[in-house]
């Protein structure tokens, strides 16, 4: 696991091995094949048509709960400073382990997005990327590539985390943007603000989000 520290909160990143990723693909295939899916969008921030709940049966069938919980526990064990101990402190005798409280599948298409938001009712959250579009072919951004320092800096389809303000001399970046690829797992404190930018091509951006 790689730990990225762009500001106060730490972002954990894992690249799933091929065998683990195959189980994720099988779960997604199972869910998409279901005739009656439970919509998750009612309590979510996203402007996304296809947001489906992943129930406990499906999570356990494919071993996704166990896999995610092992990664989250590893992340939590590294967060041993006073700040994180307070966040992860058990609230009662039944709250001494990080377990999957909720999970859902996001299938984003052209122009859909997630506005700035955070997750409630949990301590830690994660995003697991199942499929990503070719963002270099997206044209949402209006700024010509010719005046960019780097064409790869386009925000299209990326996830961005936000914390505090960027004050000169403070060393705080305030934002951190990633271009995820299939198999990438990001773990972060549930209070950390984040957003997902729209993209402009025919591809899909599929991810699994979960709270612990």
DSSP states of 104-125: EEEEE-TT-BEEEE---S-SEE
What pLDDT is recorded for position 122? 92
What pLDDT is recorded for position 206? 97
What pLDDT is recorded for position 98? 87
The torsion angles phi and psi of 187, rounded to 5 degrees, stand at -120, 135
Q: Rounded distance, CA 11 to CA 1, Å?
A: 10
Could you tell me which residue, 14 or 148, shows the higher pLDDT?
14
Q: Average pLDDT of 78-101?
A: 68
Summarised one tens digit per residue, pLDDT across range 37-86 is: 999 977 899 999 999 999 999 999 999 999 999 999 999 888 765 556 66
The residue among 140, 143, 150 whose CA lies nearest residue 203 is 140
Q: Pairing between strand 124-131 and 175-178?
A: unpaired
Q: Rounded distance, CA 67 to CA 177, Å?
A: 25
Q: Rounded distance, CA 114 to CA 186, Å?
A: 16
67-to-16, 72, 124, 147, 200 alpha-carbon distances in Å: 10, 9, 15, 43, 33
Scored b (16 or more CB within 10 A) or e, 76-109 reads beebeeeebeeebeeeeeeeeebebebbbbbbbb
The residue among 172, 170, 44 whose CA lies nearest residue 108 is 44
The residue among 103, 145, 148, 155 whose CA lies nearest residue 124 is 103
What pLDDT is recorded for position 140? 57
Q: Average pLDDT of 134-154?
A: 62
Residue 131: CB atoms within 10 A of its CB come to 16
pLDDT for residue 96 is more than 80: no
What pLDDT is recorded for position 133? 85
Percent of the chain at pLDDT exceeding 90: 66
Helix and strand numbers (H, E) in the chain are: 4, 11
Under the banding of pLDDT at 50, 70 and 90, the label for residue 108 is very high
Which residues, 6 or more positions from 191, have their beta carbon under 8 angstroms from its beta carbon?
Answer: 9, 118, 119
């Amino acid at each position: 696991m790689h730990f990225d520290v762009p500001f106060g909160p730490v972002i954990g990143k894992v690249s799933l091995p091929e065998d683990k990723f195959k189980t994720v693909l099988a779960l997604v295939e199972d869910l998409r094949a279901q005739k009656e899916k439970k919509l998750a969008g009612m309590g979510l921030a996203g402007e996304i048509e296809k947001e489906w709940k992943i129930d406990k049966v499906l999570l356990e069938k494919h071993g996704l709960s166990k896999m995610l919980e092992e990664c989250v526990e590893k992340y939590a064990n590294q967060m041993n400073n006073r700040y994180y101990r307070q966040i992860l402190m058990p609230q009662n005798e039944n709250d001494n382990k990080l377990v999957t409280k909720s999970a859902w599948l996001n299938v984003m298409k052209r122009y859909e997005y997630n506005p700035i938001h955070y997750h409630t009712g949990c301590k830690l959250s994660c995003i697991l990327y199942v499929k990503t579009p070719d963002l270099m072919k997206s044209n949402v951004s209006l700024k010509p590539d010719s005046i960019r320092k780097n064409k790869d800096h386009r925000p299209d389809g990326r996830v961005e985390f936000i914390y505090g303000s960027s004050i000169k001399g403070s060393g705080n970046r305030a934002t951190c943007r990633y271009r995820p690829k299939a198999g990438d797992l990001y773990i972060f404190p549930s209070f950390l603000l984040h957003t997902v930018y729209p993209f402009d091509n025919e591809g899909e951006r599929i991810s699994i989000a979960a709270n612990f």
